[in-house]
Amino acid sequence: MKTKLIMVEGLPGFGKSTTSRMIHAILSEHNIESRLVMEGDTDHPADYEGTACLTEEEFGQLLEVASPFKEIWIERAVQKGSWNLLPYQKLKNEYGASFPDDRYHSLAKKDIYELPLDLNRWLITDRWEAFAEQALHEPTVTIFECCFIQNPVTVGMVKHDAPEDQVTDYVLGLEKAVLPLNPLLFYIEQNDLEYAFRKAIRERPEAWSTGFAHYYTGQGYGKHHGLEGVEGTLQVLEARRELEHRILDKLGLNKELINNSLYDQENYRIMLIDKLKQHGIIP
């Protein structure tokens, strides 16, 4: 069966975005219909980005608040079991300043990735299963930048400091969902984690590095181990990398570990083409 899903994973600054875009460009050059889904896409078909999860009571309270958005909330909310899922980030993007900041921040506190791990895992796994069922009958090759390993490990280990077997089982559950798509996983590596991460800090807005360090050291694993700042974040990232490699060893899907330490885009692209040929994705 042809591969219908390509996933790109790795730590921040390792080259996931570059790799994902390169793969998409290579497929396009070979006239292979493909869809590139980057991290943070509010229309992600297998994940929830900026989506609040509200109980019936919480959603009812939201509707009681006098607001011109009442009808929009009713229209855009999706019911999943006894929960109401509201894409608050997408609504904020659409309506801008007219979407109240206080309402945005209150909904952000109810984000799916702020939920207890078991509930988060149930909702996300269900989303992946629905995506796989639909993608199976479509001609398109979908390319995901991260979210397959990164999100379960981040929410499981970094946020909740959950036992390793729970985090591993989360990823294995997603693997089971997508196996019918004959997926191919590219895991990007770097020889020097610290250099790659500090390079990302230099190249990205200061707000990104500040928020990232706070997330990685202010809760879960980082807080439990008393880690702080960039140095502490690097220690969490190293622990995350070690866990991800153990998870990789347990995955049965097709996977390629590729090294991007040289940042040599021309040769890196040649290597990607070779790997895509080996797996029969391009002729």
pLDDT of residue 164: 98
Of 62, 89, 110, the residue at which a domain comes to its end is 110
**Cα distance between the two ends of the chain:** 15
Stretches where the chain sits below pLDDT 50 are none
Q: Please indicate, yes or no, whether residues 182 and 254 belong to a single structural domain of this protein.
A: yes
Q: Please indicate, yes or no, whether residues 213 and 263 belong to a single structural domain of this protein.
A: yes
Per DSSP, helices labelled H in 109-205 are 117-135, 150-153, 164-178, 193-203
Task: Please list, in sequence order, all residues whose beta carbon lies within 8 angstroms of the beta carbon of residue 85, skipping any fewer than 6 positions away.
Answer: 48, 51, 52, 53, 54, 77, 78, 79, 112, 123
Q: Which two tokens stand for residue 7?
A: 């996933």
Residue 51 backbone class (left: φ over 0; alpha: ψ -120 to 50; beta: rest): beta
Of 82, 110, 138, the residue at which a domain comes to its end is 110
pLDDT of residue 260: 95
pLDDT of residue 67: 76
Domain span at residue 60 reads 52-110
| CATH number for the domain that contains residue 259 | 3.40.50.300
Q: Please indicate, yes or no, whether residues 38 and 146 belong to a single structural domain of this protein.
A: yes
Edge-to-edge order in the sheet of strand 184-189: 34-37, 141-145, 5-9, 184-189, 254-259
Q: Please indicate, yes or no, whether residues 74 and 196 belong to a single structural domain of this protein.
A: no
Q: Please indicate, yes or no, whether residues 222 and 251 belong to a single structural domain of this protein.
A: yes
pLDDT of residue 277: 98
Domain presence at residue 17: yes
* Residue that the structure tokens 């020097």 belong to: 192
Domain presence at residue 283: no
How would DSSP label each residue in 203-268?
A: HS-HHHHHHHHHHHHSSHHHHHTT--HHHHHHHHHHHHHHHHHHHHHH--SEEEEEE-TT--HHHH
pLDDT of residue 282: 98
Q: Please indicate, yes or no, whether residues 98 and 173 belong to a single structural domain of this protein.
A: no
Q: Please indicate, yes or no, whether residues 77 and 101 belong to a single structural domain of this protein.
A: yes
Q: Please indicate, yes or no, whether residues 260 and 232 belong to a single structural domain of this protein.
A: yes
Domain presence at residue 120: yes
Domain presence at residue 137: yes
Q: Count how many domains the chain has.
A: 2
Q: Please indicate, yes or no, whether residues 163 and 186 belong to a single structural domain of this protein.
A: yes
Residues 68-101 pLDDT 10s = 889 999 999 999 999 999 999 999 999 999 998 9
* Residue that the structure tokens 């707000």 belong to: 207
Q: Please indicate, yes or no, whether residues 79 and 130 belong to a single structural domain of this protein.
A: no
pLDDT of residue 174: 98
pLDDT of residue 130: 98
Q: Please indicate, yes or no, whether residues 20 and 138 belong to a single structural domain of this protein.
A: yes
Q: Please indicate, yes or no, whether residues 238 and 267 belong to a single structural domain of this protein.
A: yes
